[in-house]
Homo-oligomer: A and B are copies of this chain.
Amino acid sequence: MAGNSFGELFRITTFGESHGEANGVIIDGIEPGFPLDLDALQREMDRRKPGQSAVTTPRKERDRIRILSGFFEGRTTGAPLTLMLFNENQQSRDYDSLRDVYRPGHGDYPYAAKYGHRDYRGGGRASGRETSARVAAGAVAKQLLQNRGITVTAYSLMIGGLWCSTVDLSVIETNPVRCPDREKAPEMEQIILDAGASGDSVGGIVECICRGVPSGLGDPVFDKLDGLLAHGMLSIGAVKGIEFGAGFGSASLKGSQFNDAMTGPGAFASNHAGGTLSGISTGQDIQFRLPVRPTPSISRTQQTVDIRGGAAEISIEGRHDPCIIPRIIPVVESMAVLVLIDRWYQQFGRDCRQPSKG
């Protein structure tokens, strides 16, 4: 059951529930002496926080990061870096309506089966609120990778059936749906608003590109870079799959079409593989796509059962995201950078300081 840690050398452990006092993360294994940019950390939190635009839940949380340890005089010490997010907006809502009934599409039923004793308030540990701690850790890892020339960018490739026609990374943060296509962005926005207005929700596809990754990251045979990234991505509740490079499309290609011809040292004519071969990075962009299901909390009436097994109906009122994609994008980036920094440490060490004999 101890599944709340991720990574080996750059290892995070998160805690916190939907209605707990705080969420947080301990990062164990971070390199010492790194000058963290605290403003940049907070900006990443702001990309995930609710209430940031018309397409997200209007619920307000500031998600202010507080560093409790591992940071001294502007630099990491190498001791566990602890980042906390105290909840400021805990409402004493009435959750009695959720106490006895399983919400469709939520973890209510399997949590009850697994644990017996369950925090029924807003999903407890199964709540998306948990991902705030991942973004805090990811924001740290992002800075470490940036310092090594690596950038990771995710965006909305499709929402509610509408696909991007072009991908311009500079466009992503100019619109609330984080769409890289300037023309399609307002249409995607409208799709989300319409879904919300009708008491429903929509899903979509997120694409993520990792640039500047050197060749040699990832470890045979079980810790292939794709395997670790897949693990990280599928640990995000709303993600229902992943594909790298040509992905599901590669199933219909011939070998002569799929293979990426090499054209020079570390240079390839194409990138159907998506940036890895045999699970090791090739130096090409690492590229993958994720289907994100529509958010399960909708106000339309749904059939379900109560904890005694009786038939029940449920209509989930409240301030929910009619599409989680705009807010899931920093979570996707976070899981990617967490994998990459860990494998960098595995391959090159934390900082390659030369040992001094005693």
Contacts and interface: CB of A to CB of B under 8 A. Distances in A.
A345 to B, nearest CB: 8
A305 B262 contact: yes
Interface in A260-275: 260-267, 269, 272-274
A305 B265 contact: yes
A17 interface: yes
Contacts of A256: 200-201, 298, 300, 302
A281 B5 contact: no
A115 to B, nearest CB: 4
A309 B237 contact: no
A149 B267 CA distance: 40
Given A105-B259, A221-B14, A237-B278, A77 B124 contact: yes
A346 interface: yes
A346 B280 CA distance: 21
A68 interface: yes
Interface stretch (A37-45, A166-174, A207-215): A207-215
Contact of A252 (B119, B203, B278): B203
A244 B235 CA distance: 13
Given A348-B352, A350-B1, A358 B283 contact: yes
A342 to B, nearest CB: 10
A325 B307 CA distance: 43
A79 B77 CA distance: 29
Contact of A246 (B8, B16, B240, B246): B240
B110 A32 contact: no
| Count of this chain's copies in the oligomeric assembly | 4
A50 interface: no
A279 interface: yes
Contacts of A3: 28, 218-224
Residue of A1, A14, A195, A205 with highest tally of chain B CB at under 10 A: A1
A294 interface: yes
A109 B262 contact: yes
B214 A356 contact: yes
Residue of A124, A221, A261, A344 with highest tally of chain B CB at under 10 A: A221
Given A125-B220, A349-B348, A15 B26 contact: yes
Residue of A215, A240, A293 with highest tally of chain B CB at under 10 A: A240
A107 interface: yes
B303 A262 contact: yes
A254 B200 contact: yes
A124 B278 CA distance: 11
A107 B358 contact: no
29 contacts: A2-B219, A3-B28, A4-B220, A14-B80, A15-B26, A21-B69, A33-B115, A77-B115, A77-B119, A78-B115, A79-B119, A125-B221, A149-B357, A201-B255, A203-B250, A212-B357, A226-B240, A227-B233, A227-B235, A230-B242, A237-B278, A237-B279, A241-B241, A255-B297, A255-B300, A259-B298, A264-B305, A266-B356, A348-B352
Given A16-B80, A21-B69, A126-B278, 6 more contacts: A3-B223, A4-B220, A114-B216, A228-B231, A257-B294, A283-B357
